[in-house]
Amino acid sequence: MGIQVGCKPNAGITRISRMGDKRKDHQEECNDQKGDPPTEGFSYVDIFATKHIEYLLVIGFLLLFIVFWRFLTRPAKRVFKAAGKYVPVINEWFSLPEEIYYHLGHSWAAPEGKNLVKVGVDDFAQKLVGKINAIQLPGIGSTINQGDKGWTLEVDSKTIDMLSPVTRVRNRRFNLSLVYDPVRNQYNSTGLLLELINDTPPETMKILGVTELDLFIPIFTFLFGEAQLNGPAALVSTHRLRNQFYGIPDDQALLKKRLLKEGIHELGHTFGLIHCFALKCVMKSSTYVEEIDQKPTHFCKLCQQGVLKWQNEKNI
């Protein structure tokens, strides 16, 4: 880039001198001699004499920042894998197998089969704590939620609590022959609910059992579910919530909505709520599956007050 030099920018323009006399400047040609090269009379400006270098630095910084930000936002395993290409020592320090699932509490879980997983501590935690003297495990049959204390490591004279990477769902087996009615080819809901109540841990506030069995009680042809009023347990069956029972195509999304509504409905009984006459309340009684589809998943204001009253009485 260049600019012309040697020409008066106001050549040929009438000006007034300091003495008040008018004079006219003569236009001067940029090239005084014929045959001069076309570029004579031009000078080139050094880029370092302008702010262009500052703009280039800013643009370069932004490009580097974008690359660095994409590196940081990649999943942890991919970050370690990519970093291992540039820092080989990372691969030597930490092992991150891809077939297991990691938790933020430096624990992991690996599926071992149906309803069974293997858990442990990741390689980082193992190298950090060093030699482990003993492991304290929770009691058999205890309920553990993801993020709760799963087990305790004993290292020298210290104990370290590790977080559980999974939620343990109790998969208790009941003697169904005691509640089965061969004439009706159904299962007595009240008997199954009593089995669930007797198996409920003492520290449990409420428990909801879900089964695929077709439930009944002697005075009704079938039940979607049953609960103990003001009690600790409720039971819901998916048998008649599925579209296949009525000979129509399966709809998993609809099944989940129906199960959610019936689960909340039966748990509402455990909080002391009875059937509600409000059309827009989940506690409304449902005789047919179409009635379940029409009601919402929430309590009406009156039933909400009933749950709050129960909580105040229990100081919860």
Per-domain residue ranges for the chain? 101-163, 176-313
Mean pLDDT, residues 134-138 taken together: 83
The residue whose two tokens read 């003569």 is 26
H/E/C letters for each residue in the chain? Answer: CEEECCCCCCCCCEEECCCCCEEECCCCCCCCCCCCCCCCCEEECCHHHCCHHHHHHHHHHHHHHHHHHHHHCCCHHHHHHHHHHHCHHHHHHCCCCCCCEECCCCEEEEEEECCEEEEEECHHHHHHHCCCCEEECCCCCCCCCCCCEEEEEEECCEEEEEECCCCCCCCCCCCHHHCEECCCCEEEHHHHHHHHHHCCCCCCCCEEEEECCCEEECCEEEECEEECCCCCEEEEECCCCCHHHHCCCCCHHHHHHHHHHHHHHHHHHHCCCCCECCCCCCCECCCCHHHHHHCCCCCCHHHHHHHHHHHHHCCC
Higher pLDDT, 25 or 70: 70
Separation of alpha carbons 192 and 186, rounded Å: 12
Q: Above 60 in pLDDT, residue 34?
A: no
Q: Percentage of the chain with pLDDT > 70?
A: 70
Q: How confident is the model over 275-289, as a mean pLDDT? A: 95
pLDDT for 199 equals: 79
CATH class of 101-163: mainly beta
pLDDT digits (tens, 9 = 90+) for 58-110: 788 788 877 777 766 655 555 556 655 555 555 556 666 767 787 878 888 88
| Of the candidates 298, 223, 313, the residue with the CA atom closest to the CA atom of residue 268 | 298
Judged against a pLDDT cut of 60, whether residue 258 lies above it is answered with yes
Q: What's the pTM?
A: 0.51
How distant is the alpha carbon of residue 271 from its chain centre? 30
Contacts of residues 71-76 at CB distance under 8 Å and 24 or more positions apart, as own/partner, are 76/102
> Do the bridges between strand 2-4 and strand 42-44 make them parallel or antiparallel, or are there none, so unpaired?
antiparallel
Residue 310 vs residue 6, higher pLDDT: 310
pLDDT at 100: 79
pLDDT digits (tens, 9 = 90+) for 191-237: 999 988 887 777 778 999 999 999 999 999 999 999 999 999 999 99
* pLDDT value, residue 26: 44
Contact (CB, 8 A) for 270 and 231: yes
Backbone angles phi, psi at 117, to 5 degrees: -135, 150
- Answer whether residue 301 shows pLDDT above 50: yes
| Stretch among 156-160, 223-227, 245-249, 306-310 having the lowest mean pLDDT | 156-160
Q: Judge contact between 170 and 176, C-beta under 8 A.
A: no
Q: What is the pLDDT of residue 170?
A: 57
pLDDT of residue 92: 57
The phi-psi region of residue 12 (left if phi > 0; otherwise alpha if psi is between -120 and 50; otherwise beta) is: left
pLDDT over 90 percentage in the chain: 38
Residue 53 in this model has a pLDDT that exceeds 60: yes
Contacts 24+ apart (CB under 8 A), 182-186: 184/216, 185/214, 186/213, 186/214, 186/215, 186/216, 186/222
| pLDDT of the residue at 85 | 59
pLDDT, residue 302, reads 96
Tokens coding 258: 């129906």
- CATH class held by domain 176-313: alpha beta
Where is pLDDT greater, at 130 or 44?
130
* Residues forming the active site: 266
Determine the pLDDT at residue 5.
Answer: 43
pLDDT at 31: 45
**Which residues does 182 contact at the CB level (< 8 Å), separation at least 6?**
none
Q: Which residues, including other chains, have CB under 8 Å from residue 272's CB and lie 6 or more apart? A: 229, 230, 306, 309, 310
Q: What pLDDT score was predicted for residue 84?
A: 55
Distance of alpha carbon 110 from alpha carbon 165, whole angstroms: 10
pLDDT value at position 261? 96
Check whether 14 has a pLDDT greater than 50.
no
Cα–Cα nearest to 121, from 143, 150, 99: 150
Q: What is the mean pLDDT of residues 43-53?
A: 58
Per-residue pLDDT, 157: 82
